[in-house]
Structure 1
Amino acid sequence: MKKTILCLVLFYCIGTGLGHVPVIAGDNERLEMATLIHDPLKSWVIYDELHKAGEAHYFQFHLQQGQKLHVSLFTPGENNFTPTLVVMGPGISSLGTIPGYIEIPGDAGVLVVKSRYPGKASYEPFTPAAHYNVMDMDMVVNETGTYYIAVYEPSLRGSYGLAIGYREEFGFMEWIRVPWDVITIHLWEGQPPGFIFAPMLAVLVIGLFFLNHIRNNLFGWIGYFAGLFYIGGSAMTMIQMLIAFSRAAPTSQVFITLFFVIVPIIAGIVIIRIATQERIDPKTRVTMTLLGIVGLFTWVGLIIGPVLAIGASVLPSAK
């Protein structure tokens, strides 16, 4: 049991490399309605879609003189969709031309950064996913002030991801909600909700055939389904890994994803074994609690599994 908990703690440490915190952009098709990025040094990512050719999305942030702006663009598909990025703000030396429909703040310099289709996708091990990195840039700003980014494509529509910042840090709730942010990413990729959740549903349905092994008490029932959610979440990750491999060549980073697949399965089996025990002592309850807490911080079981495990640890085990 100690080895299992240690494994989950290691799982947590590996997960700190995810980096980007997702942002919901909202209606930002006008400069005056630009999405505000509160801390552009922190690593954020916006998953969005240009719904038609000639549409533009705007983002706003504040930088101090001498601070670095890091920006990258990526796309989910193979359709040669390469949106253009424009950086606008004080002290920027204007370079490049933009279409007339792009709004420019007064007296701002305009830097146009063209994207380039890379030809092959890059594997991202934490989601997991395969994306096309079409643009990456760094610049140090010369003046303190408000800066804007515009993303547009004059002739095509499509989905894009905009990553801003380089400091990889998460707030408490930003970290906890990662499993559902990952679902949002797969929806952005164009996957149907039913397909995304199918592995989880399959595990839950199969689990129903073994209910006769569960002791008839709240601890057993809740704990059993907690374990199923751990295993089901692992199945979802495995399917997404296989989808990514259909578009991107496997790299050594596959071992990170495999860790996300194997460790939750082990934890789920341990939880199910605990839930089916005849005798539940205080030590067993502590173990269930620890597995739930560590699972909550390591994105296991769509949050639901860890919450059920923690809840089961305080429920009665008598019939």
Structure 2
Amino acid sequence: MKARTSLLVLFIAVIIALPIVSAHVPNFPEGNDTLDTALHIDDPAKSIVVYSNLHHNDEAQYYSFHIEQGGRIYLGMLIPINSEEGYIPSFVLMGPGLGEEGELPSFIERPEDAGYIVIEGMLPEQGEYEGFSPSTFYELAEININAPAGGEYYVAVYSEEGEGNYALVVGYIESFTIIEFIRVPLDLIVVYQWEGQSLLEVLSPFIITVVMGLILMMYGMRKRGLEVPIYGLVGAIAGLFFVGSSAIMLYQMIYALNQVPANSQIIITLLFTLVPLIMGIAIIRIGLMGSRKPSRGIRATMFIIGILALFVWAGYFVGPALAIIAAVLPVSIASRIIRI
């Protein structure tokens, strides 16, 4: 009964989380440094963020999209908080029906007969906190207009001083496919590196949590003489992966809040930290304290937790996979005892 109640609470938390989330689908392009090789954006209305970098002052990176007359064009520019001093990228919107607004740098390639609007970046006094990631950034510039004519539009991102990373925000409709949503944890690893963190720094909270958890779990099993069946051990390891992903979220929240003030989006971060943590503790308890032979209820609980874990970014796919494996192991294998 308690297990069912816990699952109900977790399910409600997941359902609440999905509409709360306000974020963009991340993309990581390469090779779009000429007008001819511009990265084409299929749906300029769908909110995405393109993460990239500029290597020198006379470099530009290009993006393109097709839009009908009157269609809404929304673009924004972000940079990491710890960017090089003086590095403030800008962007140019080029396309049919536009006038000639601003001073177009000489190295920017311009489509024939296209007008342009130069949107210069301006560094704000303080950065912003996004709870979805969690992460921090400076928002330098944005444009929100209706297309004066239908056709192909281009965006050129450039910096006349300094070099560094940037993120181009495109679109205003925030939506995900299921695949895009459940793979967010993997994308965020790259986003944190875009912010300036090393891969080791990003993964350290996860690695430390899982390794220390395994050591403590093995020590406890040996000291108490626990005889844990295979399904229970597999489930408990899955739980450690869930707790490890919570550790990463918690670390990133602390890292971000050391750079910018907190805002209401911290609630989103706490939700995506606490729910995997609760899942992890629950499945560890089931694994280590459950019966030798898994009942239908235990199997169902582990299976449901494994599926739900995908939607709260718990366990980096390995954790959910282990939970599901623990749930479906044949009795002849699942009930074998592991002694430490």
Does the TM-score normalized on the shorter chain lie above 0.5?
yes
Scaled by the length of structure 1, the TM-score of the pair is 0.96
Identity %: 37
> Are 2:17 and 2:271, in contact at CA under 8 Å, matched by a contact in 1?
no
C-alpha separation in 2, matches of 1:105 and 1:68: 21
User: C-alpha displacement at 1:7, in angstroms?
Assistant: 3.8
Equivalent residue number for residue 62 of structure 1: 66
Equivalent residue number for residue 5 of structure 1: 7
Structure 2: where are the runs of 5+ without partners? none
User: C-alpha displacement at 1:3, in angstroms?
Assistant: 4.1
Change (3 A) 1:157 1:3: farther
Matched, 1:222 2:239: no
Change (3 A) 1:89 1:247: same
- SS at the partner of 1:302? coil
Matched, 1:202 2:208: yes
Equivalent residue number for residue 257 of structure 2: 245
Equivalent residue number for residue 318 of structure 1: 335
Equivalent residue number for residue 109 of structure 2: 103
User: C-alpha displacement at 1:255, in angstroms?
Assistant: 2.0
Scaled by the length of structure 2, the TM-score of the pair is 0.90
Equivalent residue number for residue 166 of structure 1: 172
Which amino acid in the other structure matches residue 50 of structure 2?
I
Deviations 1:102-121 (A, max 9, x none): 00011000110111101211
> Are 2:80 and 2:166, in contact at CA under 8 Å, matched by a contact in 1?
yes
> Are 1:176 and 1:299, in contact at CA under 8 Å, matched by a contact in 2?
yes
Deviations 1:241-273 (A, max 9, x none): 000001110122212211211221111000001
The count of residues paired between Structure 1 and Structure 2 equals 319
Which amino acid in the other structure matches residue 62 of structure 1?
H
Q: Runs of 4+ in structure 1 displaced over 6 angstroms?
A: none
> Are 1:7 and 1:263, in contact at CA under 8 Å, matched by a contact in 2?
no
C-alpha separation in 2, matches of 1:2 and 1:119: 49
Which amino acid in the other structure matches residue 132 of structure 2?
F
Structure 1: where are the runs of 5+ without partners? none
Match of 2:291 among 278, 283, 308: 278
Matched, 1:76 2:80: yes
Equivalent residue number for residue 231 of structure 1: 243
Equivalent residue number for residue 33 of structure 1: 37
Equivalent residue number for residue 310 of structure 2: 296
User: C-alpha displacement at 1:12, in angstroms?
Assistant: 4.6
C-alpha separation in 2, matches of 1:80 and 1:139: 28
Task: Please identify the structure whose Cα radius of gyration is greater.
Answer: 2
The worse-fitting range, judged by mean Cα deviation, of 282-291 and 208-217 is: 208-217
Matched, 1:259 2:271: yes
C-alpha separation in 1, matches of 2:9 and 2:279: 9
> Are 1:4 and 1:266, in contact at CA under 8 Å, matched by a contact in 2?
no
> Are 1:15 and 1:126, in contact at CA under 8 Å, matched by a contact in 2?
no
Which amino acid in the other structure matches residue 272 of structure 2?
F
* Residues 185-200 of structure 1 mapped to structure 2, 5 A cutoff: 185-200=191-206
Q: What is the RMSD of the two structures over their aligned residues, measured on CA atoms? A: 1.5
- SS at the partner of 1:301? coil
C-alpha separation in 2, matches of 1:13 and 1:71: 29
